[in-house]
Amino acid sequence: MPLKKAFTTTIDNVSILDEHGSFDAKLGAPGGKPIIPDDDLVKLYEHMCLCRKYDEVAFKLQRSGRMGTYPENRGQEATSLGAAYALNGDDWLVPCYRENAGLFWRGLPLEFVLLHWMGDERGNAIPEGMCITPLAIPIGTQMLHATGLAWASKYRNEKRLACTFFGDGATSEGDFHEAANFAANLDIPVIFFCQNNGWAISVPTKIQCSAPTIAQRGIAYGMDSIQCDGNDIFAVVYCMKEAAKRARENNRPTFIEAVTYRLGDHTTADDARRYRDAKEVEKWNNRDPMIRLRNYLVQRKLWDDAKQEAAVARAKEAVTAAVKRAEEIASPKTADIFNSMYAELPDDLVIQRETMMTHSLGQHPEELPPTSTQQRTHQQA
């Protein structure tokens, strides 16, 4: 029998605005209608200014002993920001820990991320209705959560989806493979957004994955997969809109590999100079998503030095206010442990909360003193 191909495929790479200023109007403005209107483009750049200032201040907070650790987002702003921009407000954002730009665009107050890295669990108490999950520190676990959230939305016929973010290193975790297999086989509307920044802490992508692209790992599970320039916000929005359409119309997952770079250390506990070549960092400095977008705006006469100065001043004011809110937050009360755990607190835990004692828990419920809830019910009766 002659040999025949069992399967062939290609993976497209999307680049619309490159670091040299070249703009692909066919993809970026089909039919003359830009995928990002000018007004929105200016707002997105202003938001990047805010996030860059936030990184600068957060780094200083850690170095001055006012925060435990911090992972800089510098250089990766276009990825999560472009994703959040392209999604609906009721779609789930399921982050790792380098998605500040997207989370803040969605509306998460700036101090929440500061509180998280200061070790205050209230930073993880995401305001109801924002459709954001807390930062995920264990590598890869959030992909399972995103798949479950998207499956629930599909079950309810809500036409909502979930987008989960992770790095290239996370695709070597078992959680990724389980989530991808589940999502593809059960037609679940989830977007797997891989921010391939070249390094899994100190392990380079070429060691992490022997394939030419990380996107091939999505293909292995039967997903549509695509690669884009992660420092090009137009390319990110383009890929996200296509993936969101596929999820809403066909309940199909998509794997997006956004090729980007973290310009800072992995976290403030890391020293990337020990394993990264300075020439590599300089090359990626020239591909900075903020510089690229600003140059484009200037070319279009949508931005100038005066606007830059004003944007930086507003960013500084906003971040300063967020730091003040985080550092001056009232100390938590012990009762918060109970109140934040349950919507309706069981009677035995009401006793624990009000007495801060557990010695009565072994008694028969009928022998326990009435709780404040029971007393109010009796009085009303």
CA-only gyration radius of the chain, Å = 24
Cα–Cα distance between 258 and 228 in angstroms, integer? 5
∠ CA(368), CA(373), CA(378), 5° rounding? 85
Torsion sign across C-alpha atoms 68, 74, 80, 86: positive
Extract the tokens encoding 168.
Answer: 């290239």
Query: CB burial class (10 A; 0-12, 13-18, 19+) of residue 118?
Result: buried
Which residue is associated with the tokens 């809500």? Answer: 158
Q: Return phi, psi of residue 373, to 5°.
A: -65, -45
Are residues 304 and 298 in contact, defined by beta-carbon separation less than 8 angstroms? yes
Neighbours of 225 (CB within 10 A): 25
From the list 136, 126, 115, the residue with the least C-alpha distance to 67 is 115
User: What sections of the chain are H helices per DSSP?
Assistant: 25-28, 38-63, 77-86, 100-106, 110-117, 141-155, 174-185, 205-208, 216-219, 233-250, 278-285, 289-299, 305-327, 335-339, 347-355, 372-380
Q: Is 185 helix (H, G, I), strand (E, B) or coil?
A: helix
Are residues 44 and 61 in contact, defined by beta-carbon separation less than 8 angstroms? no
Extract the tokens encoding 219.
Answer: 């293909």
Catalytic residues: 262, 266, 275
Which residue is associated with the tokens 């383009």? Answer: 238
Q: At what angle do helices 110-117 and 305-327 cross, to 10 degrees?
A: 50
∠ CA(135), CA(69), CA(232), 5° rounding? 60
